[in-house]
Amino acid sequence: MKLDPKNTQRAAVAVLGSATLLTLTALIFIIVFVLEKGLPVLNWSFLTGAPQDMGRAGGIFPAIAGSVALTVLAVLLAAPLGVGTAVYLTEYTRESRLTAIIRFGADCLAGIPSIIFGLFGFILFVTILKMGWSLLAGGLTLALMILPTIIRTTEEAIKAVPLSYREVSYSLGATRWQTVYKVILPNALPGILTGVMLGVGRSLGETAAVIFTAGSSLRMPASIFDSVRTMAVHFYLLAREGISAENAYGTAAALIIAVLSVNLLAYWMMNRMVAKRT
Amino acid sequence: MPVTSEKIMQRLLLAVAFSALSALLLIAVFIISQGLPFIFRYGFREFLFSSQWNPQAGKFGIFPMVVSTLWVTLGAMAIGAPLGVAGAVFLTEFVPRTVMRIIKPSIELLAGIPSVVYGFIGVMVLAPLIRDHLGGPGLSLLAGSIILGIMILPTIISISIDSIMAVPKSYREGSLALGATVWQTVRMVTLPAARSGIAASIILAMGRAVGETMAVIMVTGNSVKIPGSALEPVRTLTANIALEMGYATGMHRQALFATGVVLFVVIMILNFSASYVMRQRKARR
Amino acid sequence: MKKKALYLLFSVALVFSAGCGKNKQSITLAGSTAFQPFAEKLAEQYMTSNPGATITVQGGGSAVGIQSALSGAAQIGMADLVNLPPEAKDLSATVVARDGIAVVINPANKVNNLTTGQIRDIFNGKIKNWKEAGGADKTITVVSREAGSGTRTSFEEIITGIELVGEALIQESNGTIRETVANDAGAIGYLSHGLLNEKIKAVQIDGQDCTTECIMTQKYLLVRPIFLLTKAQPGAEVQRMIDYILSPEGQQTIQQNGLITAK
């Protein structure tokens, strides 16, 4: 058979199509595998109950609380910095060598492996600043990890605010900051929230950096100087140490559902923003 | 009054704008200051090119970890890059846009699956398959490459789709008008035009593969040995740090930070290349 | 601006409230991953009978136990070494339990007894197949702990002459060793006697079972003490915690969960 263009075309479609199918199958398999084993365990008392016997029995409430507390802290620390950086880059300066360096710094920060963040947080926050394994040390470390995402998404969102809005604001005599604060930020809010949500998703799933900085104590935190165990760390320990496969799958299912819903929310907001723009 | 507050705001924002950059520098300074003196004291060549890693006996050669990291990453790229680029091409050129608009975000959502979950599935499903059908202990270079190859798929697909979509429609129309099939157009026109974006996606994915820790610790077996085959267990640079950090004191701990320095340098090289490739693309436009 | 001020106020409040929380009596134990589960159990019990106290348990390993007791990061360090390193000489060390190290294989493996010499040869890579150690024709997968682990150090000090074979899988805790050996029919590893379960099988060493009786009567070879380390003058609260662990109730918990009592 001679390979005329039509046959090549058919072959290409077949090969590319099966590659796509393989990709989707692999990724869907992972979700289905975890949910199938985990969903039967998930119920109200599992989510709200205290763990017993090191997590072998009982619920995972302290781990959920740990994840939420750590994530909220990281976002509270990172959001003002990220939004501020984006505002400066888009509204307060022209494209220059300086902005290129700042952007490059953010991109590089995004590429740093989590274990390096873990080492850094362990040395600086846990050891030198004597925070110990704590919410605070973990939150600071995670904040640095999610900062680039928030900067990038906010920048895109601010750029999407039509120029005419700014012109109207300035023509009314508003100062630059007034324009940013009253016109640009409110209009860019969905985009900013998208960045924050993506950061939340990343914080929820992170393990390596968290275990070195926030520790793994399975108790309800009473202050930001207490160590916490997040859902991801709890899952890791339950599964790895063979403490309870059942509860491990339950925790993984809860974690995956949480991360996917947060990401879904982020996409929904981003789509709404895009829809509004066009 | 408004004028002063305006000035304060501007200064404040300028200061804030340096947060990411200062964080990066701070991390670099810390890791390097903790690790570099050790490399000099122990000997650069001895540290990087010796295969003896026995912290108890004061032997710190990370050559097996360097080689293993290289192999695991190459393996992951060999699996993830063709699949990812093929998927991106298929979804942009051969499938209705509405379908692509559903599948692309779904694949991006999957980027959010925590790495510990990937690792766990590697241990529970993949390692036994390898052990039973191919031999060896199952926890191996191959298992690590496959799991990482799957983990980087969303990165490659998502960025590749964006760069393929950015190729102007007129290019394609011109080619199709000349009687080329869709595949010929993809091969001769679209892919070459989207080349640098695809390359950047692969470099970024490589960075992710080199830096991944938890999933790798779980599935690669962590032996300190230059692998003789894909079925043998290996230990990557990241795994070396995460495994032994808890126990390390003195020289041993410095050696782990020095491992961090090597990792950091590799990642920065990848970051620079990705940003260089991306800039080239912008310059051509 | 109002929102921003509120935000700032909130963060400040958060920091202050945290500062106040710190005054509450709290003790951190850190170190040995082998003793960590028992410490967590003991802490659970201690807190039920002393509602005012908060006990935090961290892993990290024996070296971390010693380091954090020295630096004050933890009030109590946990270490499971046969011999404490020289830097621990300024700390006050209390033996709170003893722990056998079981050499474990997959239950599918028919081997029941290994000599010290065979164990040494297996971990050194001289014996590579189970048929050379009285088992079926199957390649041996050696599973060991990471360098610096208290269990590994004790294991190698007692067996002596071990130069771990390069192919050995390295796992970072007792639990992961157990899971790995349970999943691989050719595997051999070692772990804390207290963590034995039905998924794995402990072999006899030189004809001696790894049971509480044999450890108590010192017939079983692989035994190491578990130390709690504190500053030379521990605080009253810390001392009370240690006293509780040494009390009949604490020791009973230790025994019920598979460790051997201190005396």
Torsion from C-alpha of A63, A65, A66, A67, nearest 10 degrees:
90
With respect to residue B80, please indicate whether it lies within any of the assigned structural domains.
yes
* Residues of B contacting chain C (CB within 8 angstroms): 53-56, 123, 127-128, 131, 137-139, 217, 221-225, 232-233, 235, 243-244, 246-249, 252
Give the pLDDT score at C3. Answer: 44
> What number of other Cβ atoms are within 10 A of residue B191's Cβ?
18
Most confident of A183-197, B224-238, C6-20: B224-238
Reduce the DSSP state of residue C260 to 3 states and report it: strand
- Which residues of chain B make contact with A19, given a CB cutoff of 8 A? 82-83, 86-87, 90
Which among C161, C158, C194 is positioned nearest to C33, based on CA atoms?
A: C194
pLDDT at A10 over 60: yes
Q: In chain B, which among 80-139 make CB contacts under 8 A with chain A? A: 82-84, 86-87, 89-91, 94, 103, 105, 107-110, 112-118, 120-121, 125
With respect to residue B240, please indicate whether it lies within any of the assigned structural domains.
yes
Residue among C33, C172, C174 with most chain B CBs within 10 A, to mutate: C172
Q: Which long-range contacts (CB under 8 A, 24 or more apart) does B265-271 make?
A: B266/B69, B266/B210, B266/B237, B267/A111, B267/A112, B267/A113, B267/A116, B267/B207, B267/B210, B267/B211, B268/A108, B270/A111, B270/B203, B270/B204, B270/B206, B270/B207, B270/B210, B271/A107, B271/A108, B271/A111, B271/B207
With respect to residue B1, please indicate whether it lies within any of the assigned structural domains.
no
pLDDT at C10 over 80: no
User: What is the rounded average pLDDT for all residues in chain C?
Assistant: 84
User: What is the rounded average pLDDT for all residues in chain A?
Assistant: 88
- Give alpha helix (H) positions in B18-152: 19-42, 44-49, 63-93, 97-110, 115-121, 127-133, 141-151
- Which residues of chain B make contact with A33, given a CB cutoff of 8 A? 121, 125
C248 Cα to chain B: minimum distance (Å): 32
Q: What is the CA radius of gyration of chain C?
A: 22
With respect to residue B127, please indicate whether it lies within any of the assigned structural domains.
yes
CATH number at residue B153: 1.10.3720.10
Nearest to C169 among B53, B223, B247 (CB): B223
> What number of other Cβ atoms are within 10 A of residue A194's Cβ?
26
What pLDDT digit, counting tens, does each position of A187-210 carry?
Answer: 888 888 888 988 998 999 999 999
What is the C-alpha to C-alpha distance for residues A249 and A138, in angstroms, rounded to an integer? 25
Contact C146/B138, CB-based, under 8 Å? no
Reduce the DSSP state of residue B87 to 3 states and report it: helix
Q: What does the pLDDT average to over A59-72?
A: 92
Contact A242/C54, CB-based, under 8 Å? no
Give the pLDDT score at A8. Answer: 86
Contact B84/A23, CB-based, under 8 Å? yes
> What number of other Cβ atoms are within 10 A of residue C203's Cβ?
19
Percentage, residues of chain C above pLDDT 90: 35
Sort strands C141-145 and C187-192 into parallel, antiparallel or unpaired. Answer: parallel
* Residue B71 identity (one-letter amino acid): W
pLDDT at C8 over 70: no
Give the pLDDT score at B76. Answer: 96
Confidence of residue B281 (pLDDT cuts 50, 70, 90): low
What is the C-alpha to C-alpha distance for residues B266 and B149, in angstroms, rounded to an integer? 19
Give the pLDDT score at C70. Answer: 87
- Which residues of chain B make contact with C62, given a CB cutoff of 8 A? 247
Task: Retrieve residue B226's tokens.
Answer: 């230059």
What is the C-alpha to C-alpha distance for residues A80 and A78, in angstroms, rounded to an integer? 6
Contact A227/C11, CB-based, under 8 Å? no
With respect to residue B31, please indicate whether it lies within any of the assigned structural domains.
no
Reduce the DSSP state of residue B17 to 3 states and report it: helix
pLDDT at C16 over 60: no
With respect to residue B261, please indicate whether it lies within any of the assigned structural domains.
yes
Q: What does the pLDDT average to over A172-176?
A: 88
Q: Which CATH class is domain C100-216?
A: alpha beta
* Residues of C contacting chain A (CB within 8 angstroms): 1, 7, 11, 14-15, 17-22, 24, 28, 37, 40-41, 54, 56-59, 73, 173-176, 178-179, 182, 199
* Residue A162 identity (one-letter amino acid): P
> Running DSSP on this structure, what letter comes out for residue B53?
E
Q: What is the ipTM of this complex?
A: 0.90
A277-to-A86, A160, A180, A191 alpha-carbon distances in Å: 19, 7, 18, 11
Give the pLDDT score at C127. Answer: 93
* pTM assigned to the model: 0.87
Matching CATH topology for C27-99+225-261 and C100-216?
yes
Residues of the domain holding B59: 44-284
Q: Which CATH class is domain C27-99+225-261?
A: alpha beta
> What number of other Cβ atoms are within 10 A of residue C129's Cβ?
14
Q: What region does C163 belong to: left with phi over 0, alpha with psi -120 to 50, or beta?
A: beta
Contact C175/A133, CB-based, under 8 Å? no
Contact A5/B180, CB-based, under 8 Å? yes
- Which residues of chain A make contact with B5, given a CB cutoff of 8 A? 177
Task: Retrieve residue C188's tokens.
Answer: 């051999």
What is the C-alpha end-to-end distance of chain C, expressed in Å?
66
Which among B213, B248, B220, B226 is positioned nearest to B50, based on CA atoms?
A: B226
* Residue A229 identity (one-letter amino acid): R
Which among A175, A197, A193, A174 is positioned nearest to A185, based on CA atoms?
A: A193
More confident residue, C61 or C106: C106
With respect to residue B122, please indicate whether it lies within any of the assigned structural domains.
yes
Contact B94/A13, CB-based, under 8 Å? yes
What pLDDT digit, counting tens, does each position of A269-278 carry?
Answer: 877 777 766 5
Percentage, residues of chain B above pLDDT 70: 97
Give the total number of structural domains in chain B.
1
What pLDDT digit, counting tens, does each position of C189-240 carry?
Answer: 999 887 888 899 999 999 888 888 888 887 888 988 999 999 988 888 899 9
What is the C-alpha to C-alpha distance for residues A125 and A93, in angstroms, rounded to an integer? 33
- Which residues of chain C make contact with A132, given a CB cutoff of 8 A? 28, 73
For chain C, the structural domain boundaries read 27-99+225-261, 100-216
Give the pLDDT score at C25. Answer: 64
Q: What does the pLDDT average to over B9-37?
A: 91
pLDDT at A220 over 90: no
What pLDDT digit, counting tens, does each position of A67-77 carry?
Answer: 999 999 999 99
B87 Cα to chain A: minimum distance (Å): 4
With respect to residue B21, please indicate whether it lies within any of the assigned structural domains.
no
- Which residues of chain A make contact with C199, given a CB cutoff of 8 A? 242
What pLDDT digit, counting tens, does each position of A67-111 carry?
Answer: 999 999 999 999 999 999 999 999 888 888 888 899 889 989 998
Contact B238/A255, CB-based, under 8 Å? no
Contact A242/C182, CB-based, under 8 Å? yes
Please provide residue C146's backbone torsions phi and psi, each rounded to the nearest 5 degrees: -75, 155
Task: Retrieve residue C5's tokens.
Answer: 């001020």
Give the pLDDT score at A1. Answer: 52
